[in-house]
Amino acid sequence: MICKLCQLEKPLIRALLIPRNYFLQMKGKSKHLVEFETGESPQKSLNQSGTIDTTILCQNCDNKRLGRFENYGYAVFPPLPDPTKITRLPYLEIYRLGAINGRSLNLFLIGLLWKLHASNQALGYHVDLGQRYSEQFRAAILAGRDSKSVSCVAFLMQYPQYSDLMLGALRKKVEGVNCYVFYLPPWKLLIRVDNREFGQALTKFELRDGRDGIARVLRDFAPSERHILKFIQDQARSRAGLPRF
């Protein structure tokens, strides 16, 4: 089989589409996420369909090339955040992420995007980078070089329930800029994939090299998430033969 990253003929491995530590953290905590990504049999899907792809990566590319940036991702966005880093400001609650290494963060984001783009699994259903970005990102990962078209704003989900919400990545236009929303519970990342910069409101939260990063703490679902939850609930109820809410 050909590895889609290095493009060499190699045995391919079972690649997790989201970095392992977020996956383990969620798996240990609850089964809610299982219901969110699947069509048919909710119980099975968490460790099988949807989150693992056996057709994209060789061991070296997954563990070493992408793995080292995933390790950086865990350092910036810990799967178990430290509650003492949350600060309440008058109109806003923030989590202090600490100093940001722009290149490592950039490559972590590129790796997330590229993996979901390369995969045909449900989790990456809405991720289509197009030929230009997918080639550019593949080259960036191989060369360890960052891309100016990518940056991100982070949110810490502290919802009253379902903080482990694991939705597939969504595509979104924010202030005219093309973005993806990524769920790495309890983190939510708004990732810019565009040559245009974020607008003013988002720029001040953008994670930048050498600057202390902050994430906004969210205490409730976004309307679009509510909508998706309702849809999933309805589907689950109708599968179980119950009336819709």
Q: How many residues bind Zn ion (CB under 5 A)?
A: 5
Exposure string for 180-211, b = 16+ CB within 10 A, e = fewer: bbbbbbbbbbbbbbbeeebeeebeebbbeeee
Alpha helix stretches (DSSP H) within 56-178: 59, 67-76, 102-118, 130-143
Minimum CB distance to Zn ion smaller for 5 or for 150: 5
Instruction: Find the residue with minimal CB distance to Zn ion.
Output: 3
| Position 58 contacts Zn ion (CB under 5 A) | yes
Minimum CB distance to Zn ion smaller for 5 or for 34: 5
- Give dist(CA 136, CA 140) in Å, integer: 6
Cα-based distances in Å from 224 to 71, 172, 214, 220 = 30, 11, 23, 12
| Position 12 contacts Zn ion (CB under 5 A) | no
**173: its two tokens:** 């236009």
Piece of the chain touching Zn ion by CB under 5 A; list 43-51, 58-66, 80-88, 229-237: 58-66
- Give dist(CA 193, CA 148) in Å, integer: 9
Piece of the chain touching Zn ion by CB under 5 A; list 60-68, 155-163, 190-198, 215-223: 60-68
Piece of the chain touching Zn ion by CB under 5 A; list 38-46, 59-67, 100-108, 125-133: 59-67
| Position 15 contacts Zn ion (CB under 5 A) | no
Q: What is the closest distance, in whole angstroms, from the C-beta atom of residue 55 to Zn ion in the complex?
A: 12
Minimum CB distance to Zn ion smaller for 58 or for 191: 58
Q: What is the closest distance, in whole angstroms, from the C-beta atom of residue 133 to Zn ion in the complex?
A: 19
- Give dist(CA 63, CA 226) in Å, integer: 35
The residue within the footprint of Zn ion, chosen from 13, 15, 26, 61 (CB under 5 A), is: 61
**244: its two tokens:** 């819709």
Cα-based distances in Å from 220 to 32, 38, 79, 173, 217 = 17, 23, 19, 21, 9
Minimum CB distance to Zn ion smaller for 34 or for 58: 58
| Position 3 contacts Zn ion (CB under 5 A) | yes
Binding site for Zn ion (CB under 5 A): 3, 5-6, 58, 61
